[in-house]
Amino acid sequence: MKAPTMTDVAQLAGVSHATVSRVVNGRAGVNSETEALVRKAMADLQYLAPPTENRPGKSARRSKSDAIRHIALLTFDRALTEHSTFVASIYEGARRAASEQGIAVSLLSLDDIDTVPDWIHPDNIDGLLLHGLRSRAYLARTADKIPSLWLTTHEDRGVNAVLPGNRQVGKLAAEWLLERGHERVTTLSIDPGNASYEVRTESFQDSVRQQGARFVSCRLTASEHTREAHPEARMQFLVRKWKTKEKSERPTGIFSPSDYMTALAYAAFRRESVRPGKDLEIVSCDNEEAYLTGLFPRPTTIDLGTEERGRMAFELLLARIRDPGLDRRAALILEPELVLSPDLS
């Protein structure tokens, strides 16, 4: 009787020959349900894969441990445009961790295109690190084919996520400003579509109120966001709202959920003859040197450990690739830390 072949397994499982080959050789790109079908077909046919050294093709020269060759960090929703140093630090952490195991990591921005390039395919990419706000349809389809892990808080549920401890960020900012003696505080945010910023500001408000302090709302309406389309214009409009409040009502402690917005706020306040560090105090987040350089006095900010976050994200994704049965909702929380302004005496 003829021994069963990979082709026989593929026909019984209802998948391609390439899919069976990936399962047999321990390669990425096969979801857990499909892998189960393939392994059941192998058992039903009593198919035994030949020894690695006898298998044809490139996979015959790779052991299971080095079959993972290439990870891609995909950024979208202006992530690389607005937060280049933040993303670069995450990338560096992932790249260093990957190089220790002989795995390449590439960085790609998808801001200006509506489809994933053809080369981002299970045959070329073994895993994806995703940095953005939402999973557009083409990204969702790609993530279904290739093991993936989110690096940001985003609108989808039930998928991998590496979270920067956004609720802790808001709590830490509130505690800092209240310890500094500010009796009236607020948030300045010009990006309501960013889930990370929303979580940070909501946590800040909750923490302020839980400690019995006063939170003074200072937000743009939906129509104002639409009318003031440019980020600088939105921030200037928001600062003017702050300034028009009665002096007895005006917040002196401000939480900005990103250094990018803090840089915009410093410029907007100075145009209104308001002096950050004198008339008010800002605590920021992300510790992005590109935005903090040149701000005086330099604000206290919150560091999210981006390089370590990249390393840990890579390690979690690697575990997911090697064991597709792992919980897809696995999350990694990093503890944020205050980086005090060097201008504080």
pLDDT tens digits for range 330-340: 566 678 999 99
- The reply to whether 13 falls in a domain is yes
156 with 271, same domain? no
272 with 189, same domain? yes
178 with 277, same domain? yes
- The reply to whether 154 falls in a domain is yes
- Report pLDDT for 39: 80
| pLDDT tens string 58-113 | 443 334 444 788 999 988 877 888 888 899 999 999 999 999 888 999 998 876 65
Which pTM was predicted? 0.75
**CATH for 133:** 3.40.50.2300
* Token pair of 298 as six digits: 């330099």
Please give the C-alpha separations between residue 49 and each of 19, 42, 63, in angstroms, as whole numbers. 14, 9, 14
* Percent of the chain predicted with pLDDT > 90: 45
- The reply to whether 344 falls in a domain is no
143 with 184, same domain? no
- Report pLDDT for 52: 45
296 with 327, same domain? no
Number of domains present in the structure of the chain: 3
190 with 294, same domain? yes
- Report pLDDT for 1: 47
Range with the poorest average pLDDT among 45-49, 148-152, 238-242: 45-49
More confident residue, 159 or 263: 263
221 with 298, same domain? yes
Q: Where are the alpha helices (DSSP H) in 191-285?
A: 195-210, 222-227, 231-244, 259-271
Residue 5 CB neighbour total at 10 angstroms: 13
295 with 327, same domain? no
- Report pLDDT for 194: 83
**CATH for 54:** 1.10.260.40
147 with 192, same domain? no
- Report pLDDT for 112: 60
Q: Find the helix or strand (DSSP H, E) in which 93 lies.
A: helix 84-99
More confident residue, 116 or 277: 277
3-class DSSP string for 165-195: CHHHHHHHHHHHHHHCCCCEEEECCCCCCCH
- Report pLDDT for 108: 85
- Report pLDDT for 159: 53
What is the extent of the structural domain holding 87?
68-164+307-336
Question: DSSP secondary-structure letter at 313?
Answer: H
Please give the C-alpha separations between residue 8 and each of 5, 46, 54, 94, 95, in angstroms, as whole numbers. 5, 11, 19, 40, 40
- Report pLDDT for 55: 47
The pLDDT of residue 31 is above 60: yes
